[in-house]
Structure 1
Amino acid sequence: MESGGGGCGGRECKNHSHGPLGHHGHSWSNMYEEKDLPKEQDVLPFAEDYSNFDIVKATQYGLLDRCQELVEAGYDVRQPDKENVTLLHWAAINNRLDLVKFFISKGAVVDQLGGDLNSTPLHWAVRQGHLSMVILLLKCGADPTLIDGEGYSSLHLAVLFQHMPVIAYLISKGQSVDTTDHNGQTPLMLSAHKVIGTEPTRFLLKFNPSLKAVDNIEKNTALHWAVVSGNVSAVDVLLEAGSSLDIKNIKGERPLDLAHQTKNRLLVHLLCEEEKLRARKNSRFLRILEKYEFLLLLVSSLTLIWAIGYVADLNSDSWLLKGSLLVFIFVIMSLIARQFVGVNKLQYFPLAFLLGSVFWISWTCFILFLPDFSGTISQLPFFLGMLGLFYYLYKTIRTDPGFIKTTEEENKKNIINLGESGSLDFRTFCTSCLVKKPLRSMHCHTCNSCVARYDQHCIWIGRCIGFGNHSYFVLFLVFLTMVNIWALYGTILHWSEHCTTTYWQDGAWTSFTQIVSCSPWVLYIFTLISFHTSWAMLLLILQLYQITFLGLTSHERSALWKQSKRSKHPVSLRKTPYNYGCLQNLADFFQCKCFGMLKPNIIDWTKQYTLIFHSLKDRNVHAV
């Protein structure tokens, strides 16, 4: 490539035909090795007389006054140098915005072809990833669809060099994601073939490119090209996106056939497993079963929890027999899960286990523990706790946690606005969702969506916790803890009423053996209760602490703590813009007015992009 990827930063460049900017004809692979691009603030060579610089060298260093002097003296800005490179090319590769504006105002041709690869200034800017220069050249009329000497358009070059902001901007400005090079390859094919790794293949898929498109020569799809290059990451991403396994190239070969030819066992395994998975989906029985996967998972959990307790409650004294039965049960359940439950539904196993545990805990409490409580008042916490538990669990799961929802057109407008304002970076833009990220939002890779005021992705409910359902989640933990504590008390009361030994009279070991022989099922349920009480109470305490005293989410608290550990200067968790004091933090979180004593701040975190500092007197905040 003509530019080489280096720059004249005041260290080596003596004239435009030597040094970093004088290399022409580099292959695309070694472009990555030259990172010496100059910046506008680069220090110029010490003790040099800038008045003697020729116009090419002055352009490379960004000396606007010297260039204006030479142009006014009669230099033609359209005149190429001996390597057929124009001043506009040199200004573009060095990201000299002011010089580009000046040269174009003096008649420079914005799409002038030059260099060994017959490229335009836009091609040079794209290769270096100068988004601001790309934006300027496009505004000045540069054509991104032009093909350079290697047969690549601007979008193809942005893909080759993995400049994601440039890719996003070019597509948002109207360049087709399925534009082809001189061989008929789309950017997706080029990425799968030439770029090892998931990006920018995964990024391009966000713009809905054609997965069935084939090139003009080999008639390969993007999946074919990924297999040819042995790009396992790209193959995995393309299979996840639904690329066809049945399309044949000009030689009649499918992607799996090419994998066998390359003798790449991992690719063969991936493609074979995908074929089996898709064949299963064609089964009518399995399609029906897929609709009820979670129900099957719940029934399996209920059965598994009951079976473990049933085996433990057997009268047999043979622990070998009981152990063998438990192993057999685990094997059967794992086989059922592997055969009939998809991988995407297995993430809900903790929720199914929690619901199964709550069912058998409540059944045990109702049948065995409630009769031991003398009055209705002592039984009331159990019924109220169960009612609140299931209600707030349902609200937590069914309520939108605050997913950032935008249309494709809105995404493209946001990309253009962010790019032209110089803010198209990972702090303000999510490359997975293609959305402008609101304040306090975070992309959840499990849900594959950005969540407003993100707290966590809770494994126990298989759902994100965010702006929309955070308060419901905390109340769910409150009622879960209440039920568990009541059940723990009920267990101890049951043992004291129905077992013949006590800890104080007989000691720990004798008491334990008597409890085991008295009621193994109750001991088993006590173990489940203790487990769920431990994590629920710990999580509840952490939630209440960070909500009340810090005004932060779990993600924010964790991020600040890590920052404090890395920083030489400690970061105070309590001194944040979101901490208004204990009472106000609680009022804001639960949106509680406390009979008019408090005024909660009303903020729509799905649309809050700027940080606003509020005085103590003015607590009424509205989203901007």
Structure 2
Amino acid sequence: MHIGPESTLLNPSLNYAAQDTKTKSFEKIIEYPKMQMYIQESLNICVSNLDYSKTKLLLEKGANPNVTQKLQLYPLQYAAAKSDQQSLKIVSLLLKHHAWIDIQDEDLNTPLHWALVKKNVPLIIKLIRNGASLTKKNLYDITPFDLFLKEKDLLHMILEMENIDWNASTQSDFPLLLEVFYKSNLHLAKWLMKKGADIDYRYLDSPLIFHYLKNTPILDRKVILFFIQHANLFLLDSKGNTISNVASKYADAGICSLFYNLKK
């Protein structure tokens, strides 16, 4: 897997300086007016080389960690794609300078995708603690959580982490508990709920069970029964719909019958 930047635009002198020159000499070189336009591209080289001092210098000179050339990774992804311990320092530095933690490359991989591929445990922990999404899909519909499921030791590690917001979500990234229900993994659902994941959490103004009913092609009766056992089935969505209203639109008669005659 090639993870080093290949710049065709970078000034040759600055290219050499970014890779081989000492930091003080590099600082003098980038002060030249003609070199200012190239500091953005040299950032990727310095990050890929895990050169902390030069990376710090470029960021302080105004290099944007959220910009890259076409078909290249972003600086945070170059750092995450390394298995070296130095990558943790570089990632911390980039985050300090407002690098987007879930920035996506051409294949829609996030830094957490890359860190998981490299099995860089300290970096994985760092990204998760800073709010990296576990449910953001790449171009092939693979989420970081899918990668965790393939590595049981890593999965156990994150499930044991403390002070994690297991209900975290954005408009495009649903809560991890909902992802687990989509996968019909009730063992993991129970574990997440013990850690603080809320089965009654409202995502985009609707309870999780509403999303499960609407977005699951083949509903799993065991998951429905799990919701019936553990969730508050009297919650409404933002339009005032009840669970029975939603079930009647998206579920078969057998599933709908489970919600009839609900009593508080």
TM-score (norm 1): 0.27
Aligned: 1:113 with 2:92: no
Q: Which residue of 2 aligns with 1:261?
A: 249
> For residue 112 of structure 2, what is the aligned residue in structure 1?
125
- 1:500 corresponding residue in structure 2: none
C-alpha displacement at 1:100, in angstroms? 0.1
Letter in 1 for 2:168: T
Q: Choose from 199, 211, 235 the match for 1:225.
A: 211
5+ unaligned residues in a row in structure 1: which ranges? 1-7, 19-53, 61-66, 147-152, 283-624
Could you tell me which amino acid in structure 2 is paired with residue 210 of structure 1?
D
State the distance in 1 between where 2:197 and 2:120 align: 26
Q: What is residue 238 of structure 1 aligned with on the other side?
A: 227
Matched-pair contact (CA < 8 Å) for 1:224–1:258? yes
Q: Which has the higher contact order (CA 8 A, sep 6+)?
A: 2
- In the alignment, which residue of structure 2 is the partner of 1:174? 163
User: Of 148, 154, 167, which aligns to 1:163?
Assistant: 148
Which deviations, in whole Å up to 9, do the C-alpha atoms of 1:266-321 show, x marking residues without a partner?
4324x24xx57x76xx9xxxxxxxxxxxxxxxxxxxxxxxxxxxxxxxxxxxxxxx
C-alpha distance 255-17 of structure 1, shift in aligned 2 (>3 A): farther
The answer to whether the 8 A contact 1:127-1:161 is kept is no
Residues in 2 aligned to 1:206 and 1:162: alpha-carbon distance in whole angstroms: 22
> Cα offset for 1:114?
7.3
d(CA) in 2 for partners of 1:226 and 1:145? 28
**1:248 maps to which residue?**
236
Counterpart amino acid of 2:166? V
**TM-score computed with the length of structure 2 as normaliser:** 0.54
Structure 1 distance, partners of 2:53, 2:167, is 46
- Give the CA deviation at 1:96: 1.6
Residues 310-350 of structure 1, C-alpha deviation per residue, up to 9 Å, x if partnerless?
A: xxxxxxxxxxxxxxxxxxxxxxxxxxxxxxxxxxxxxxxxx
State how far apart, in whole Å, the 1-side matches of 2:95 and 2:115 are: 20
Q: Residues 47 and 78 of structure 2 are in contact (CA less than 8 Å); yes or no, is this contact kept in structure 1?
A: yes
Deviations 1:357-382 (A, max 9, x none): xxxxxxxxxxxxxxxxxxxxxxxxxx
Which residue does 2:133 correspond to in 1? 154
Aligned with 1:253: secondary structure? coil
CA deviation string 1:554-608 (max 9, x = no partner): xxxxxxxxxxxxxxxxxxxxxxxxxxxxxxxxxxxxxxxxxxxxxxxxxxxxxxx
* 1:162 Cα offset (Å): 6.3
Distance 2:209 2:52 in 1: 55
Residues 160 and 191 in structure 1, CA contact (< 8 A), matched pair in contact too: no
Count of aligned residue pairs for this structure pair: 204
Contact 1:15 1:57 in 2 (8 A): yes
Structure 1 Cα separation of the partners of residues 234 and 52 of structure 2: 64
Letter in 2 for 1:173: E
Identity of aligned residues (%): 9
Distance in 2, matches of 1:182 and 1:72, equals: 34
1:188 aligns with 2:185: no
The alpha-carbon deviation at position 82 of structure 1 amounts to: 2.0
Trace 1:489-568 onto structure 2 (pairs within 5 A).
Answer: none
SS in 1 for 2:111: helix
- Which residue matches 1:96? 83
Verify the 8 A CA contact 1:228 1:258 in the aligned structure 2: yes
Instruction: Quote the Cα distance in structure 2 between the aligned partners of 1:101 and 1:180.
Output: 25
5+ unaligned residues in a row in structure 2: which ranges?
A: 8-41, 137-142
Partners in 2 of 1:130 and 1:72 — Cα distance?
A: 23
Counterpart code for 1:198: N
Give the Cα separation in 1 of the matches to 2:103 and 2:239. 35
Partner of 2:120, secondary structure, is helix
Corresponding residue for residue 28 of structure 2: none
Q: Does 2:191 correspond to 1:212?
A: no
**Cα separation, partners in 2 of 1:123 and 1:133, compared to 1, 3 Å:** farther
Q: Which secondary structure does the structure 2 equivalent of 1:161 belong to?
A: helix
**Secondary structure of 2:206's partner?**
coil
Deviation for aligned residue 1:125:
1.9
Q: 1:109 to 1:223 in 2, by over 3 A?
A: closer
Q: Could you tell me which residue of structure 2 aligns to residue 44 of structure 1?
A: none
C-alpha distance in structure 1 between counterparts of 2:87 and 2:231, whole Å: 43
Contact 1:59 1:91 in 2 (8 A): yes
**Kept in 2: contact 1:77–1:87 (CA 8 A):** no
Please provide the CA RMSD for this pair. 4.7
- After superposition, where does 1:352-367 map in structure 2 within 5 Å? none
CA deviation string 1:221-274 (max 9, x = no partner): 11111111234253343234x2122222123222232121124344324x24xx
Q: C-alpha displacement at 1:112, in angstroms? A: 1.8
Structure showing greater radius of gyration is: 1
Alignment partners' CA distance in 1, 2:120 and 2:3: 25
What is the one-letter code of the residue matched to 1:212? D
The separation in 2 between residues aligned to 1:196 and 1:236, in whole angstroms, is 15
